[in-house]
Structure 1
Amino acid sequence: MLRTRNPVHALTAADRDDALEVCARNLPANVFVAARLLEGVLTTQPGTVLGHRVDGRLQSLCWSSANLVPVEADEADIAFFADRVRRWRRHCASILGPADQVAELWRHLAPAWGPARAVRADQPLMSAMDLPSSLGVDLDPRVRPATTDEVDLVMPAAAHMFEGEIGYPPYSGSGAAYRTALLALIDRGHTFVVVEDGAVIFKADVGSVALGCAQLQGVWLAPHLRGQGLAVPLMASVVEQVMATRAKWVTLYVNDFNTSARATYTKVGFEDVGSFSTVLL
């Protein structure tokens, strides 16, 4: 039997505008990939973004690096993407994105890639477009962008957040590469902190910015300060500053079982606009 040629291809710099148009169809869900496109990944990391064209029109994408992120993909697209990446298991740590697309992609890949370490099937995707101050939410004046000389203060907080979320440390042995990644976020003004007595007690990062939309990640409050009513003004201050300096549309996604975080984000002005899933490998 002849095998049908897979129509998926690696995108090049010439495809950038078409790829951004695909991302813009649902920007809160696709801002991660849109940001990487604007950062020039099609030139600096060729082969990282796969695309499927139908009758000349770019229909869908799949970010294919340390994680897989489907973008605007229907069942047929996902079958093609899965066939293309099936042999890449050892390069991939997770699959994440819109819940329906992730579930379908995992259905195709699970027989070869499973079992997963964990499947977070319902992670509400939340969006805010109003300044928290305009909603009457108090802002914590201590929140500010971290400075590059504070990277070694940020690192323990970031590592604690990562391990609590993912279930294993972000690095083993030397933390040099992890430190470099944190420093890059700080250098771009994308890490917000509160520092007290020489320690970071709160942090949040802007993981992606594209087309007027920003996505927050890495939100962490020191355990001994939780449950004291601090989270709402802290997050409100981050969102206020991001809206004033980065993008007027702010998004994030959160585990459905993290009811306290969801309540905090709702009080800050976020609303549910979709559902993400993450498959941890």
Structure 2
Amino acid sequence: MVTKFLLSEGVPVDINYGRGTPLFLAAESGQDKTLEILLDHGADPNISVHCLGGPFFMALTKHSFKCMETLVKFSQAGADVNWKTFGLTPLGFATARGGYTNFIQFLLDVGADANVSDDLGWLPVQLAAARDCREEVEMLFPLTSPIPNVPNWTIEGVISHAKIEAKKPLDQKNCQRRKSFLKLQADIAFKQKDYKLASELYDMAISHGESAALYANRSLTKLLTGDGEGALSDALRCRMLRPQWAKVFYREGAALMLLEEYEQAYDALLDAQNLDPQSAEIERELRKARELMTNMNASRERPDAP
């Protein structure tokens, strides 16, 4: 096996070339057997990879029970199941995101703490309650210490209170924190090539405050999912907020290319090149738009064959 051979040749087990350690990459790929080998050779399950967190968190986002179990049970030190990533523990992530109900009991069984809050002070039970997921609340409630500002400390009371609190506007400081928090989640989803989820998370971030960068990022996710109209709409919103940014026109041009509006795409990309004449990426797309525009015009002018 390649992993065993490389380790036998002295390759450091926790080496990181920029995309993460071998353990992190194995968790990302759902390779539980490779995880076992790496852990047997002393791999550290708690090395964090930038905003993407560690192997355990990555295994959770990939819905891999086997990898999560391997990281907890086959590691001498054991993966830290309460390690926070972008303001959330794995349990907080599962209850905030939704779609992880089957993982919550597992997380609790391996030591996840139901009393660790997120970056805004919300506990997992509150995050589940805000989504009106009674099943998750019922799992978490017995393990959660009473919350002082919840007057009716019952399952119904927690759900009712969380729904009310979730509708309240955040103050400016918390609004910015929440926007940053959601952007990080979106960035992670994008890196995992889950473009639909990334788009939804960018949308949630935008609801806490518009920014050109968020619209540009969401435009790209829509472009990658084939939503040309949505990509164009976001590019145009971005353009209103930051009219002298080359990326704005590049996003607009890319969306128009997808919509086969080659002349408009060429104009937008030409504007992008004027703002960033050194960009090879813009030059390539501009050349492509020029060729497609020329071919389209030629086909229009070509007389019908007899």
TM-score (structure 1 length as normaliser): 0.28
Larger fraction in helix:
2
Q: Which has the larger radius of gyration?
A: 2
Name which structure has the greater RCO, CA cutoff 8 Å, separation 6+: 1
TM-score (structure 2 length as normaliser): 0.27
